[in-house]
Amino acid sequence: MFRNVRFYRLDGSWPDSEESLSRNLEKAGFKPCGPLTERSSGWVAVDQDAGDSLARRVNGADLIRLRSQSRVLPPSVINEELEVRIEEYRQRMQEAPSPREKRRLKAEARDELMPKAMRKSDRIWGYVDLKEKILGIDAAQDAAAERFVRRLQASIDGLNIRPLKFLQPVDELL
């Protein structure tokens, strides 16, 4: 289940029950991207059988899952639409658009294309060892792990999360 685990130390208070943790996570529950939003992220249920619970506590560890959704709009699509709009502008005004006008046309094209863009979702798993106060995040990229950490800190007041430092390199331990 976890392939690319990054470890963090938790400082501060952690919710004392699964229900309490789930209530905290509900504040930042997942909402899909709106027509003009590029990215959205929030907590989702760990298990379909869990009902509305956004956390699962098993054997002294909490399991949580963050879902991120982004709209996929390649720059080449925007630039292609921009070329069409620049040509229409030249036909209409009998002159080339200024740099400021090009920026406006590009923003206009992006805003029109964004609601039609495909949505892509990814899910990041995390677990908290309650005894050791260690957070493990299954994320291959730093940006995904940071997004998880920021969202978790926003969901639980007074929680400080810092990367775990090992005394020996991990590959020597394995």
Q: Is residue 128 included in any domain, yes or no? A: yes
Q: Is residue 83 included in any domain, yes or no? A: yes
Task: Give the number of other CB atoms < 10 A from CB of residue 12.
Answer: 12
Examine the domain organization and report whether 15 and 61 are in the same domain.
Answer: yes
Q: Is residue 93 included in any domain, yes or no? A: yes
d(CA 82, CA 42): 33
Residues 6+ positions from 38 with CB-CB distance below 8 Å: 70, 71, 73, 114
96 is in which domain, residue-wise? 75-115
Examine the domain organization and report whether 103 and 125 are in the same domain.
Answer: no
Dihedrals φ, ψ of 69, to 5°?
A: -130, 135
Quick one: pLDDT at residue 165?
Answer: 80
Quick one: pLDDT at residue 164?
Answer: 85
The CA–CA distances, whole Å, from 130 to 69, 80, 99 equal 29, 52, 56
Examine the domain organization and report whether 144 and 95 are in the same domain.
Answer: no
Quick one: pLDDT at residue 170?
Answer: 67
β-partners of residue 124 are: 66
Examine the domain organization and report whether 59 and 134 are in the same domain.
Answer: yes
Quick one: pLDDT at residue 69?
Answer: 95
Examine the domain organization and report whether 28 and 98 are in the same domain.
Answer: no
Examine the domain organization and report whether 9 and 87 are in the same domain.
Answer: no
Q: Is residue 54 included in any domain, yes or no? A: yes
Q: Is residue 169 included in any domain, yes or no? A: no
d(CA 68, CA 105): 29
Examine the domain organization and report whether 81 and 132 are in the same domain.
Answer: no
Examine the domain organization and report whether 65 and 79 are in the same domain.
Answer: no
Q: How do the pLDDT tens digits run along the chain, 174 residues long?
A: 788 899 999 998 899 898 999 999 998 999 999 888 899 999 999 887 767 789 999 998 999 999 999 999 999 999 999 999 999 999 999 999 999 999 999 999 999 999 999 999 999 999 999 999 999 999 999 999 999 999 999 999 889 999 988 777 767 766
Quick one: pLDDT at residue 21?
Answer: 92
Q: Is residue 19 included in any domain, yes or no? A: yes
